[in-house]
Amino acid sequence: MLLGRQTPVTQSYSPELLYPMPRAPGRQLIGCSDSLPFAGTDLWHAYEMSWLDATAKPVVRVGRFAIPASSPNMVESKSFKLYLNSLNNTRFDSEGQVANIIKRDITKVVGADVALELLTVSAPTLAGAALQGLCLDDVNVRPPRGEPAAEMLELLSTEPTEETLYTHLLRSLCPVTGQPDWASVWINYRGRALAHESLLRYIIAYRNHQEFHEQCVERMFCDLQERIAPEFLHIQAFYTRRGGLDINPFRSTDPMAAPLPRLNRQ
């Protein structure tokens, strides 16, 4: 793995830089390796994409990648960054050719079809959105103790409740480098009513928890599902960019549900 190591800049197209991260070990830790209780997508934005056109003139785009949660592998983020930068000084006949090559390479690494949009840097669809629902950031909360666990999530009622909640207070740690990752979390559910203070305390408990972005969200989903027995549950984390990439894991009980767009914070 290249993460945590000094690496030279690659001057030519190098798909061998891409490093697969199997999802199975993380899912075994939360007890969902045999059958997935969720569907979803890992939505990535790559803000540092460039290559040369047929005349050797630079082209700059923002890439939006959608990697299915059902894929056997994730792609390690530093290897992704280095791979994209390996395209910088390579000529391509057309933008379509670039898109096809990148989709092919990422699909091979993750083991499932990947969707890719190449957007101009001023594309309206890149505008940051504001989260809808009730913000928990001003809720008074007791300091959490220990690692996040489903038992932290307290119920107000066993009667079905539908609500949309979010917080900007998520911090987790990279399991390789120990460096902090920052994110907002959005939750929409119908199920047994959560005590808001306990939910915020649970999310804050990730502050010193070491796990990859996608694994943190899947752990949250499974813990929430255990506690609230939802009729439906959607959860998405919006991690701020690192190395020109942001990652937005989305998990849902509905296989047809789509992730939300990026935030201004990213």
Collapsing DSSP states into helix, strand and coil, what is residue 31?
coil
Which of these is catalytic: 181, 222, 223, 246? 181
| CB burial readout 160-181, b (16+ within 10 A) else e | eeeeebbbebbebbbeeeeeeb
Our answer to whether residue 32 is catalytic in this structure is no
Of 266, 45, 65, the C-alpha closest to 168 is 266
The CA-atom distances, in angstroms, between 246 and each of 65, 113, 176 are 10, 20, 18
Give, as one character, the DSSP assignment of residue 198. Answer: H
Report CA dihedral (73, 125, 263, 232) to the nearest 10 degrees.
Answer: -60
Here the tokens at position 179 are 């460096």
- Distance, in Å, from the CA atom of 150 to the CA atom of 162, rounded to the nearest integer, reads 19
Pairing of strands 232-239, 245-252: antiparallel
Please state, in angstroms and rounded to a whole number, the distance separating the CA atoms of residues 67 and 90. 25
Based on the residue annotation, tell me whether 181 is a catalytic residue of this protein: yes
Q: E strand or H helix at 21, and its extent?
A: strand 20-22
Residues annotated catalytic, as ranges = 174, 181
